[in-house]
Chains A and B, each alone.
Chain A
């Protein structure tokens, strides 16, 4: 089995992230799976950036703590990360810029590859932007990948810039490759030999998956204000807007963002907003507005460590309670938390259908870890996803004319009222932020109030009856220990499960709210002992489950350093408990 990790580090602003992305694509185009994880400070230049790509011939769900090949584009990378390189691994560094005798080498058998990056740039009069091409050439030699795949990738990337730019970039890669050949002719023991006959793969981030899901769902309005880790969703959709017929609006603040989206949704357009905790805090009043006006909306909530500005470029699952409880007053809302690209596309499409069906806010929660890292998935898994659009009780013009006197907030058994759009003949109605009667007119009468509260609450019951799903279970059915987690931590946990050959089983929550107490309790009773794994400090899913089922979850693995949980950490905790 092939499973190795390449880590690339250097100063911010030198194309480290692009190098990682290219490497991942080279792997997936060679038939392998890849998983990317990056760490960078909230700075544009000068900070230390690292990106790692784990490559395997099997599906890979997470990063790992051991590195096979470390490529140092500055000395800091060596100092910080040489200790992570495994026995028999490779470290590449610029021996002309860094005095080898000053390096604190780990006490292990490691191959040191000397590449004079700065001299190559100087002697060939190349700009520093070419550094990543040289690095990629070096990597091609070390991991024995096909340089043609790299050359083709370069050609595609710079297609619009012309032949000359393409050739220059390819030449830089060739220089790196030949330099590495001189110093390290044998290459690393594991080689990225192209595998044929395997399914074609796509390589995308959670943000791109959210965007793709929105396109597939027929979303026509995306509104946002930039905020890590969700900015890249805005960038992706803005770039595709004209092509997919979506209007993408960068509004003046998050309050405007969500109110614009609600206006657009009321007028009939599938609408989505995206933000992170701080921006979402500004949106909260309007979440409640969506609740009472019964306006569908999809909200992508990308978590990062708070409170306040917190640690912008790091990861955490700290906003589960905030989201579930968001908005003053009582009204139904639905909260989903996909873990990986495939789930992110699927649940985003579903979020739009649920929002239209229940005419209420639907959340898709992510975090820095899953939104910014690329992950491979078999193309077929995405392209075969159902992209059925279900707009719920949205009336056609014909149906509306048959309705007679239209009542926007008609009391119904399932709590959902037929929806007409402004502009349709016979549509006269109000979407009202005040409590209202069936027609939408402001009302403070006790009977109207009770009727409308109960009508809205019945949507919850309808959801539980028609759309509630128990969490998925991975691993052996019978096991003395069951790990419970949610959202993005699925990856490291599945990886741990795989690496221990099913030492435990795993309950994955991707639909966090609302929960069916009775079904959930009966389901959880079927397991013996639990370990709660969460990327936060207060076990928010655990608290939620206790609240709903009165069960306690005393054993926890919680991490709140801004870093994701590693499979190794799960394995050692599980071993400790068994």
Chain B
């Protein structure tokens, strides 16, 4: 986007995290996610200097200029490994990934599995609009079978990916689903996700009003339901069952939560200080001596 003619950013004046006013299409589901993120960060009392957001490339990733905190606008599909690197380097920083479904489940799908396996302590917020917004509406891996788009005029042949089941079976320790219109609920999910120690995925249903009229606000309003107090997110089996509710009725809320040591906890090198704060190893002579 072009920031040239935009109004003065608000961040420096008052509200933390507020950058330029978004350039998304009016009515885009991204607005709801944006507001929820800001509310969540405020609730969590995060400081824009002392956190890191890694953005993917897409309409979603364009939030880089609307949501201000220290951030790395990464490559398409690569926000997750970039975020893992940040976390290893400074595990005292909260690290959040903001990416699209094409970015995270398509181009960078492989990274997601391995991030879950490693239980890297990052929170991945995926804007699930079932299309590639930024490149004008081709199908995303989350598109329902048969969805027609510029790249699939005859309807997509593949069945959609199942992000929840995918990361659940690969060792993710926090999995939630939200709906961009239910911002209070989504805010709580983001707070819980960031507070969770371990890998967390928050898949957010986000209507793309321009390129995906089929999966509109009303489509989701008719289908989503909140997981109640009777639902036990610590039960792997029931989480797996919930993950299969994909089309008729769609659960939102925390689908799974468990505890497992996070990646950086297993590294003795990080026991006393963060990696970024460590100084030169002055005892390299002993490493040289090993080659005699």
Contacts and interface: CB of A to CB of B under 8 A. Distances in A.
Interface in B50-105: 50-52, 54, 57, 62, 64-65, 68-75, 77-78, 81-90, 92-93
A244 B281 contact: yes
A242 B269 contact: yes
Contact of B82 (A242, A260, A428): A260
Contacts of A212: 284, 287-288, 291
Chain A contact residues: helix, strand, loop or mixed: mixed
Given A212-B287, A215-B281, A289-B74, A251 B4 contact: no
Interface string A390-427: 00000000000000000000000000000001111111
A28 B74 CA distance: 49
A261 interface: yes
Interface residues of A, number: 72
A267 B4 contact: no
B292 interface: yes
Contacts of B72: 262-263, 266, 293, 430-431
B37 to A, nearest CB: 16
B291 A251 contact: no
Interface stretch (B157-165, B174-182, B239-247, B270-278): B270-278
Contacts of B49: 422-428
Closest 8 CB pairs of A and B: A263-B85, A267-B89, A268-B276, A260-B85, A422-B70, A202-B291, A264-B85, A264-B89
B285 interface: yes
B18 to A, nearest CB: 12
A426 B64 CA distance: 18
A70 B114 CA distance: 48
Contacts, number: 206
Interface stretch (A125-133, A184-192, A437-445, A546-554): A437-445
A153 to B, nearest CB: 11
Contacts of B268: 242
Contact of B292 (A221, A379, A431): A379
A216 B286 CA distance: 11
A573 to B, nearest CB: 34
Nearest to B1: A442
A143 B3 CA distance: 75
Interface string A198-240: 0011111000100010011010110100000000000000001
Interface stretch (A50-58, A170-178, A381-389): A381-389
Interface in B1-39: 1-4, 19-20
Given A379-B288, A383-B285, A445-B4, A263 B276 contact: no
Nearest to B273: A245
A293 B62 CA distance: 16
A273 B291 CA distance: 23
Contacts of B83: 263
Nearest to A285: B75
